[in-house]
Amino acid sequence: MTFTRRCLSIAASIALTVVATQSAGAAAADADAPADISLEELLRADVHTASRKAQRLQDVAAAVFVITREDIERSGVTSIPESLRLAPGVEVARIANNRWAVSARGFNGRFANKLLVLMDGRSIYSPLFSGVLWEMEDTLLEDVDRIEVIRGPGAALWGANAVNGVINIITRKARDTRGTLAVAGAGSDERGFVALRHGLAVGDGDLRLWAKAFSRDHSVDLAGNDGNDTWRAVRLGFRGDWNLDDGRRLTLSGSAHGGPTGDRWMLPSFTSPTGVAPTAMTQNGNGAHLLARHEWLWADGSEAALQGYVDYCDLEVVGAFRERRRTVDFDFQHHPRLGGAHDIVWGLGYRESTGVVDSGVYISLPSGDRIWRMASVFMQDEFTLKPDLLRVVLGARLEHNNLTGFEPQPNARLVWTPTPQQTVWGAVSGAVRTPSRAEQDAVVDLSVIPGNQQQPPVLMRNVPLDGLRLDGEKVKAFELGFRQQFGSQLSLDLALFSNRYNSLRTATLGATSFEFAPVPHVVQAISPANGVRANTKGFELALDWHASKTWRIQPAYSTIRIHASADTADPIMANSVTVYNNSTPRHQLALRSSLSLSDRGQFDFWLRHVSALPSGDPRAAGVPAYTTLDLRVAWRVQPGLELSLVGQNLLDRRHVEFIPDLLPSQTLQVQRSVYVKAKWQF
């Protein structure tokens, strides 16, 4: 009831604001509805993340996919990680109803650490675990303008941790969300959700206020029992955009969130015959951020932007650990118009992140502040060798952090455009992934090997060595891509890649000791190390066919092979090799169909197939291949009011998508589900 009262309180507050400032009508509501996008419009649309400047999608020298607002709406997804399934080459596996594993081009996991994720340029990558805690990151999906997905290294422009890709979630400008939006729905997994948004003119700009709340039901374990993975959250935020004098623009945005999620950990146990005891856990996640961005646009076309943000996060798993983290970040970039053949973008960046951790029973870290600092400078020059035919892109980011020191990250690309409808590109890049605080400092009781009459039980404990300094993980990436537009109805996008990784995270056997409490047992220490190499190869293919003005078909296929090897014969390293080799399905296939039924109705289906995922643990089963089907039917009852019915995972009652790694959660199944949604704009 407390959660419900909070939802109603926020809803009432927003409603009062709406009543006090109502200034928009049905015309604004219709403008807010996602429009069907033609193929020409999509290929002419500007993307920014790949080169940190506006550039036509057809001209970008990288593997880029843009998930549009229309794509998100018509897919029926209810969270950001689920929307990333729309991009080829990105693997999204639901671990539970409140947790996901998301990666690009391999090495997936609960804390997949080679994918840099941004929201309006603000990094949501966690320094504690390396990766994204997706249950902590959310926004109003109706406010997302597009998601730009870059597969392949982006470190030359965006810095460390952009190893296998960069995802930038870009929200809509406030002027595009004038009027009022109300969303509500419920279903089998979605117990209930509600959202309110109001946009209004303020001075020479616009402001929007929004709030959302939801409650998601639990899934089930392999035996069909309650998975204890419920998810409740409340989030509210704002964004304002103002045009200042002399070609300047100012953006202010912020949000705050809070809510519990459930989990069940398989904790080490000396009394259990299996060595583990299922234990219900509760995670409390609260946080807030404030972002400001100032842009300059000069008469000659030159541009500059200064962005800064402050982010606070309070993450607690009751009984296990608690971290309070404050991050301050400044980023400046300049895009001068020099004329001639050169097009330069350069910039500076500084980030400071301070984390304070309270240790629990099974996870402990040194007390006191641990500060991570990073400073960088980058420059990229795109120069034309032959106009409208051949371009070369050279760039590098010089970065220094207080964990691994100086890290140069270079990039070279070549673009050949023999016709306006055809693009061939190639790239050679380098990137680095910095170690997390948990890797450097955490002492964790991992598991118990049960004893017998001849041997005492053995507790496996992760213990960092004194003075441990892990190296950054490094990659050298080689890419080749091809885009072709066949008339006004069909386009093809193909990307091939071959990556070489060094100094991947692993562990080694350490010393043994003997402890008497709670029962006599041996402690086998395991220490973090860098000692695994890997090669990956694969390709991604996406087609976009506008079969008619009302029917769009989008097939996609991706494949990858991972071959990892260890520097030594250490058995823990050997296990790491097995885990890496089995971290990502070899094949993924998707088929999406979007059909408009007159001006009022929509019918969408989304078919996906994911190949089997062998287990990294020979004692446990892997993930069988699975095929899913999502259906959505929507009908505009009247201008501004739309009702929709969505069915997800309809082909089977339930299935497993991923085996939890690192944190010892139990394996859960994704269930068939259905929900109804009403969206009212006025």
Q: What is the 3-state secondary structure of 136-156? A: HCCCCHHHEEEEEEEECCCHH
Q: Could you tell me if 115 and 126 are in contact, meaning their C-beta atoms sit under 8 angstroms apart?
A: no
What's the rounded Cα separation, in Å, for the pair 555 and 545? 9
Rounded CA-CA distance 669/220 in Å is: 6
How far apart, in Å, are the Cα atoms of 2 and each of 9, 258, 265?
10, 13, 26
Give yes or no for residue 438 having a pLDDT over 80: yes
Token duo for residue 200: 């209004």
The whole-number pLDDT of residue 39 equals: 65
CB atoms within 10 A of CB 529: 25
Residue 522 lies in a domain: yes
Least trusted range by pLDDT, from 14-23, 94-103, 248-257: 14-23
Cα separation, 80 vs 84, whole angstroms: 7
Confidence (pLDDT) at 363: 86
**For position 36, what pLDDT does the model report?**
63
Q: Is residue 374 in a domain?
A: no
How many separate helices (H) and strands (E) can be counted in the chain?
Answer: 8, 37
Residue range(s) defining the domain that contains residue 567? 2-363+386-681
171-180, 303-312, 465-474, 650-659 — which is least confidently predicted?
465-474
CATH code of the domain containing 638 = 2.40.170.20
Residue 371 lies in a domain: no
- Look up the pTM and report it: 0.92
Q: How confident is the model at residue 22 (pLDDT cuts 50, 70, 90)?
A: very low
What is the predicted pLDDT for the residue at 366?
79
What phi and psi, each to the nearest 5 degrees, are found at residue 237? -165, -175
Rounded mean pLDDT, 399-406: 92
- Classify 7 as helix, strand or coil: helix
**pLDDT of 27:** 41
Query: Do residues 674 and 179 touch, judged by C-beta distance below 8 A?
Result: no
Residue 616 lies in a domain: yes
Q: How confident is the model at residue 680 (pLDDT cuts 50, 70, 90)?
A: very high
- Count the Cβ atoms, other than its own, within 10 Å of residue 327: 20
pLDDT of residue 195: 98
pLDDT score recorded for residue 291: 98
> What region does 224 belong to: left with phi over 0, alpha with psi -120 to 50, or beta?
left
Whether 285 maps to a domain, the answer reads yes
Confidence of residue 37 (pLDDT cuts 50, 70, 90): low
Question: Which residues pair with residue 223 across a beta bridge?
Answer: none
Question: pLDDT band at 616, cuts 50/70/90?
Answer: low
> Is the sign of the CA dihedral 610, 556, 63, 141 positive or negative?
negative
16 Cβ neighbours under 8 A, 6+ residues apart: none
pLDDT of residue 124: 94
Query: CA 646, CA 623: separation in Å to the nearest integer?
Result: 26
pLDDT at residue 487 in the model: 87
- The DSSP H or E segment spanning 99 is strand 99-104
In a domain, 428, yes or no: yes
Total of domains in the chain: 1
The SS3 call for residue 244 is coil
pLDDT surpassing 50 at residue 3: no
Residue 373 within a domain: no
Confidence band for 285, pLDDT divided at 50, 70 and 90: very high
Structure tokens at 326: 């404050």
Percent of the chain with pLDDT over 90: 78
Share of the chain above pLDDT 70, in %: 93
Query: Does residue 45 have a pLDDT over 80?
Result: no
CA distance 105 to 539: 9
Whole-number pLDDT of residue 567: 86
At 7, the pLDDT band (50, 70, 90 cuts) reads: very low
Q: What is the pLDDT of residue 598?
A: 81
Burial 213-231 (b: 16+ CB within 10 A, else e): bbbbbbbbbeeeeebbbbb
Cis amide prior to 518 (ω within 30 degrees): yes
Are 116 and 129 contacting, i.e. CB atoms less than 8 angstroms apart? no
pLDDT confidence of residue 441: 87
Burial (CB < 10 A; 0-12, 13-18, 19+), residue 581, is: middle
| Residue 552 contacts residue 594 (beta carbons within 8 Å) | yes
Q: Does residue 379 form part of some domain?
A: no
Q: How far apart are CA 490 and CA 564, in angstroms?
A: 38
DSSP H/E element including 310: strand 303-317
For residue 338, is it left (φ>0), alpha (ψ between -120 and 50) or beta?
A: alpha
β-pairing verdict for 601-610 and 248-268: unpaired
pLDDT for the residue numbered 620: 67
**Residue 267 and residue 282 in contact, taking contact as beta carbons nearer than 8 Å:** no
Band the pLDDT of 173: cuts 50, 70, 90.
very high
pLDDT value, residue 432: 96
Q: How many CB atoms lie within 10 A of CB 588?
A: 22
Q: What share of the chain is helix, strand, coil (3-state, %, to 5)?
A: 10, 60, 30
